[in-house]
A and B are shown apart, each in its own frame.
Chain A
Amino acid sequence: MSDDEIERTNAERPDAERTEAARPDIERRPPQRTHRPRGLSKATALMGARVAAGVIGLGVAAAAIAGGALLPLPSIEGEAPSVTVKPVATAQELVCAGGILRLGDESGQNVANATSIGRPLVASGSTGNAVDSGALDVAGTTKDAAPTTISAPPDGPEVPLVAASQAEVAASPDFRGLATASCSPESSEAWLVGGATTVGRMTLLSLANPGGVAATVDLRIWGEGGAVEAAGLTDITVQPRSQRVVPLSGLAPDLESPVVRVSSEGGRVVATLQQSIVRGIEPGGVEIIGSAEGAARRHVIPGVVVRNGEEVEHSIGIPGFADLGTVIRVLVSGTEERDVTVTVRPEDGSTGGESLSFAVDGGVVTELPIEELPDGGYAVEVSADVPLVAAVRFATTVTKPGSDGFRANDFAWATAAPALPAEALFVAPEAPTPELHVSNPSDAAITATLEAQGSAPATLAVPAGASITVPLAASTVYSLSGASGLHAAVTSVGDGLVSAFPVHAPAAASSPLRVYAQ
């Protein structure tokens, strides 16, 4: 860079002064003297100009800073380009629990393995293409008793609804009764409310993994004494496309009222409980319990059926028969005592029903008995101001004529049913007198349409806060439209046979996701 000077940068500075300024001895002189001889008026003018410039400068600076800080200046804020990705629809896949299992084979040997005692009748249907079905790999089980997978491939962008249910009537020395269950989609978290591991009560936890990735399952079990600490609750591996059966008694023995939370990583599983009761040598029923609604502040449990109530009440007094009674099993989150409100409504279209409040300890499973209900269907509503899970166990008993007072007992678990979307599909099981129980907990009447495939649609008018019962034809696919906000369950009740399952909402397709590719 050359050393040359800045030229005439200062317009106001006269040339004479510039030359003066170049001299090193400038500092000895007062600046005004450089403007002589007629510099006085010029200097005054210059001073005036400088003062003016300074004042203007101050003003501009103040204005600029105030403007920058106080003016509501508009911002130019673009929007990042993004793509809302609607995930490609996958085939809806449901897993049915499979046949009723016993530990060990028929000879009572090999108790580590579960084997099936029969095979369930599976009925399925979809709103779209034909339904594909398959079976999972299960050691020791015949293929047709293994858990069945039901899927309906997507029809273009439309995802068809698919539903299936299974039913099995057991009549062996150890197992007797009706077990129905709806087939459900895999999930990474499930709440199972039901079962018992006291004497004569066997509960098997079935983990079915229909996916292609091994699932690592962690269990948490609560009982009447609180959370259960035990080895083997975590890191239970379920291989792809297989079922694993875990006896609950091995993890939590002698538990009257377990609640199990199943969470899986990697692959996802369908978890079910199979509970059977043997009182002495008398089989007391069998039930397959599907996953209940997850923890929420309010649950609606339709489809609690009291049949032969008097006889049940009568039998409860007999030792070992206490669990014939209707109870609500509740687990409230947290560790503090909470008030849980229970409303039991008859399913006759009326809005009546009684509300009771119970104080329930958090973190401890509590069973709230419901006594002296007349025969009929009921919807139970359980609510608290903290999340809870709940289910209702009910039973029936019948003394068979000419059988020496031999009673045929069976029990069922009505689990919390989800609020249905506008369109739902379900299949009535191949079981005696199936019925649909519909509950409307909302403040407005809902009119839905029930249509059996191949029949004329029927209108279901459910008043606000009321529940109704509709008879169904066995092994038939039903679609329920306009059902938004309703909760529903399907029960099957025969002589000494009872079973129930809720109507599931279809598994939500993956929601669209906004993606910014950068």
Chain B
Amino acid sequence: MQARVTAILVAHNGSEYVDRTLAALARQVRKPDSLAVVDAASTDESAQQLATSGASVVVSVRGKASFGEAVANAVAALPATESSDEWLWLLGHDNAPEPRALAELLGAVEIAPSVAVAGPKLMRWDLPDTISSYGTSVTQFGATVDLVVDELDQAQHDRRSDTLAVGAPGMLVRRGVWEAVGGFDPALPHVDSALDLCIRVRLAGHRIVGVPSARVASAGPPEEFGKKPLHSGARARLAREAQLHRRLTYASRAALPWHWLSLVPLAFVRAVAQLLAKNPAAVFGEFAAAFRVAFGPGVAPARRNLRRGRTLGWAAIAPLRMPRRETRELRAARREVRAFSDNPGPQRERASFLSGGGGWITLALFAIGLLVFSGLIGASSVAGGSLLPLSATIAEVWSNVAFGWREVGGGFVGAADPFVWVLASLASFTFWSPSTSIVVLYFLALPLAGLGAWWAATRLSERAWPPAVAAILWAFAPPFLASLTEGRLGAAIAHIVLPWLALGLLGAARSWTAAAASALLFAVAAASAPVLIPVLVLCWLAWMLRHPRGAYRTMIVPIPAVVLFAPLVVQQIAAGNPLGLLADPGVARPFAVPSGWQLAIASPAGEANGWSAVASALGLPSLAGPIIVAALLAPLAALAILALFLRGSGRAITSLIVALLGFVTAVASTHLAVAFDGSTPVFVWAGAGLSVYWLGISGAAVVSLEALGKAVLAPAMLVIVTIGALAWPLAASPITGGAEVRQGTGRLLPALATADARADPDIATLELIAQPDGSLAARVHRGAGTTLDELSTLVSTGGSDAEARERVAVLAGNLASRSAFDSSAELDDLGIRFVVAPPTEGDRAERVRERVVQALRSNPEFTSINEATEFGFLWKFEGAGEVDLAHPRGGALATAIVAAQGTLLVAIALLAVPSRSRRRTAVVAHDPDDELTAEFDEDTDE
């Protein structure tokens, strides 16, 4: 009996293909017996083109119909089955068959009656000698494997005929079987629809063959049928969704609940893996796919349909699955192909870490750092200046990163300073004793800064000298040393991070790892020294505009900072104090605001970087200090300016613009008093801005040294010697005792209060600090004292809850006066058990302190504990029993904020983990156009 073939041609916005496809159909040596055309809601001329095809059945589908649905509609419109030997030939608008295609397909099915489906070899529409797809299989775990992808057709696959599945385009399927298994699964509109159909056909007891001699064109994968090309994230999502749908459909009834329950947890695991594989675009799809499959309506009908048509067990298709070893080999081979298609660029010579001197310089800086801060050896915390210990346990430190209840400022629910994240991360390195991490940081500060500068300089230089000079310039930078000796931890951390950030940003456009790492470093720098945010954002924007191709990677750089700052931004704006965002985190401590001249010689605290004291000790006039510093800086400045005249002046211009931005930031810092220490306005520490200034100057000097070639030695030595001399007073100050930082005792309050706080951590100590203007500052210290991680810029800038502050103020004001105020009720309410009046200086402050002392001494509710200690006078209040305070929590909002911040940071951190092998990284990184070279094994989770 003659087989009867009905060709079903589906067009969806395919007017550019339809004519060629219709012509190809007409040229078939074995013409289909009838033609059914389906216009799947095309908006172009496809419908008109189809109308001229002379088809016997014309179907028009409204709405968003997929290929499968369109075919189903056409089959329904066909006349009823007349014989068992009736075949459907499924074609999309782009599936122009070669003249012998149908004949070959029919030839294959006629000799084997068990064959119900035959698929052609799909060739690329634009490259007719390249196989687009030929045969599909699944792994042992059910993941789809295309047996051939974009290979030049050299008849290498022509031996294969029996396959698990063939693609939908050009598929010849027996109509009876098609109807018996129920056609394509509506829940699989494109991806895997043919695979699923073929598996059901196999389970119904039929065979599927590929026919290599039948060739049909194809313009793209099924999910792009009639659509614009999809981006990688969407493709990954569709593939994953199809895979999960098939998994639930094929699963046995007993395994189904487990598979269902595993959907979302697996999505998490796979999201982490996708990040590690530098495939962030696929992360969202993992969750979307899991949720859509878990809660979509498609699985139940698909399972019913499968059960209805099935006659064989799963063992029937087992031999056709791809063995694991073969899968691995296939994937490895494809990776190789992709790698070889990249074009490795020329490698640059660069000083190596060990032979180029980086190691020696780091080691030397480590020794110098140890010597400079030798006073801290054996310390468990650093005190003095703006430093305070961290909370006693790492859990407490981490609990302070969350949006929620804060003890400072009378207590309020509010955002944490992003700097607390930095502190908590830092403290995790010495999790057994959080404060020790700051001691360790002090020892490692110089080598870390020098190392970062060394690495960054190797990007500008091919020789050994310029990076070495950069390392020394950066480690002995006066703003850095001033920040360290003054205990300005934020500015010091920002200084350490800046060269690493620059290094990361340079690679951010080409590598996800670099982009994510610089995103984290950007957040660290912004959180540690918020005044740098404008200049950091400017640099980031400039870099992104400079490298528009990698912009989608560079784009993520500010995201962690934005997420960390967001709650604080909202609160500060709500408090009408947006400039408060620029306040230095940590202790708001006033300092002598430097003049513009001092800033020009990179002296953030005035005093000409310690040279004023040296000059006055030598009996020189007061102007001698700045002049000495300027003279010592002259070689560096000359070198930096010289860079403009030498080779590489473009880089020099960039560097000097950075220096200018840094200088402007430093000048702006000294005109910006947004935080307060009691009544005293506290200006933003200029050290952070000066670090950027120094970065630019150092960069220009490195460019200059690089361009000097062989003549590098003399200027390099001159700069090293002068900067070493310049740094000497500041570097020596911790040894001579001139620096403010010193070993901490870890105690923040008088011993008695500390001891009582150990028994009852909820008790508080009220500190009444007489102010130089004759006012009083009141601080409530909960437990053993306010630690660095408990501080909030919301409080220091006056943006915290006004009511809570007023309550403390009223209590303090009345305690400091003869008053009929019911202070004992209020003290009990606030859990205050001690009042301490620290020593002060200045006439008016002394008078206020005297008033406080008199009032408290004549207050019968207080017992005077002891006379002057280092903490001042102390009084104890015998409150009613144990203090047990129930603080308002942040509620769901706080949880959501912490969860969002944590998730995002973890995601970025995973993305920053350099997970790819070095060889591949090296090769891939040379091609900026390479989209997503990361390979992610589909079935790692199964």
Contact = CB atoms under 8 A, between A and B. Distances in A.
A50 B928 contact: no
B193 interface: no
A515 B775 contact: yes
A22 B513 CA distance: 25
B160 interface: no
B409 A518 contact: yes
A517 interface: yes
A313 B671 CA distance: 76
Contacts of B644: 50, 53-54, 57-58
A61 B697 CA distance: 11
A75 interface: yes
Contact of A154 (B646, B650, B820): B820
Contact of B641 (A1, A58, A267, A514): A58
Interface in A133-150: none
Given A69-B597, A266-B864, A80 B663 contact: no
Contacts of A24: 349
Contact of A516 (B460, B510, B678): B678
Interface stretch (A3-11, A218-226, A349-357, A461-469): A3-11
Given A65-B600, A513-B775, A1 B672 contact: no
Nearest to A85: B813
B858 A267 contact: yes
A69 B679 CA distance: 27
Contacts of A90: 818-820
Given A13-B648, A50-B645, A518-B779, A82 B819 contact: no
A127 interface: no
Interface string B795-815: 111100010111111101110
Interface string B632-662: 0000000001101111111111101000100
Interface in A83-111: 83-91
B800 to A, nearest CB: 9
Interface string B413-449: 0000000000000000000000000000000000000
Contacts of A77: 673, 681
Contact of A80 (B455, B798, B922): B798
A266 B858 contact: yes
Contacts of A13: 647-648, 650
B316 to A, nearest CB: 49
Interface residues of B, number: 107
Interface residues of A, number: 73
A76 interface: yes
Contacts of B511: 2
B671 A514 contact: no
Contact of A517 (B409, B455, B818, B820): B409
A89 B814 CA distance: 10
Nearest to B927: A4
A78 B814 contact: no
A2 B512 CA distance: 11
B794 to A, nearest CB: 11
A32 to B, nearest CB: 10
B819 A76 contact: no
Nearest to A84: B813
A37 interface: no
A213 B860 contact: yes
A74 B668 CA distance: 10
Interface stretch (B13-21, B327-335, B475-483, B499-507): B499-507
A510 interface: yes
B877 to A, nearest CB: 13
B776 A515 contact: yes
Nearest to A19: B346
A87 B817 contact: yes
A317 interface: no
Residue of B644, B681, B795 contacting most chain A CB atoms (<10 Å): B644
B926 interface: yes
Nearest to A77: B673
A266 B853 CA distance: 9
A371 interface: no
A82 B809 contact: yes
A85 B504 contact: no
B818 A57 contact: no
Contacts of B596: 65, 67-71
B56 interface: no
A320 interface: no
A88 B820 contact: yes
Contacts of A10: 648-651
B809 A85 contact: yes
A514 B775 contact: yes
B465 interface: no
Contacts of B494: none
A78 B674 contact: yes
A9 B650 CA distance: 7
Interface in A459-518: 509-518
A518 B673 contact: no
B821 interface: yes
B898 interface: no
A78 B575 CA distance: 13
B597 A4 contact: no
Given A76-B672, A211-B860, A515-B775, A87 B650 contact: no
A1 B503 contact: yes
B514 to A, nearest CB: 6
Nearest to A73: B671
Residue of B507, B595, B797 contacting most chain A CB atoms (<10 Å): B507
A10 B504 CA distance: 18
A76 B648 contact: no
A444 interface: no
B667 interface: yes
B771 A69 contact: no
A80 B681 contact: yes
Contact of B860 (A60, A71, A212): A212
Interface in B488-522: 503-504, 506-507, 510-511, 513-514, 517
B653 A53 contact: yes
B459 A213 contact: no
A83 B806 contact: yes
Interface string B574-588: 000101100000000
Contacts of A512: 813
B466 to A, nearest CB: 14
A513 B813 contact: yes
B350 interface: yes
B543 to A, nearest CB: 10
B172 interface: no
B487 interface: no
Contacts of A79: 681
A517 B808 contact: yes
Interface string A1-44: 11111110111110000010110100100010000000000000
B172 to A, nearest CB: 50
A212 B859 CA distance: 7
A433 B33 CA distance: 144
A265 interface: yes
Given A90-B818, A188-B854, A1 B507 contact: yes
Interface string B611-639: 00000000000000000000000000000
- Closest CB pairs A-B (n = 5): A85-B813, A69-B596, A212-B860, A510-B817, A80-B676
13 contacts: A4-B926, A19-B346, A27-B709, A50-B649, A75-B673, A76-B671, A81-B802, A85-B809, A87-B819, A266-B864, A510-B818, A513-B776, A517-B780
Interface of A: 1-7, 9-13, 19, 21-22, 24, 27, 31, 49-51, 53-54, 57-58, 60-61, 64-65, 67-71, 73-91, 154, 188, 211-213, 240, 265-268, 509-518
Interface of B: 345-350, 408-410, 455, 459-460, 462, 503-504, 506-507, 510-511, 513-514, 517, 547, 577, 579-580, 595-597, 599-600, 641-642, 644-654, 656, 660, 663-664, 666-667, 671-674, 676-681, 709-710, 771, 773-780, 795-798, 802, 804-810, 812-814, 816-821, 848, 851, 854-855, 857-860, 864, 914, 921-922, 925-926, 928
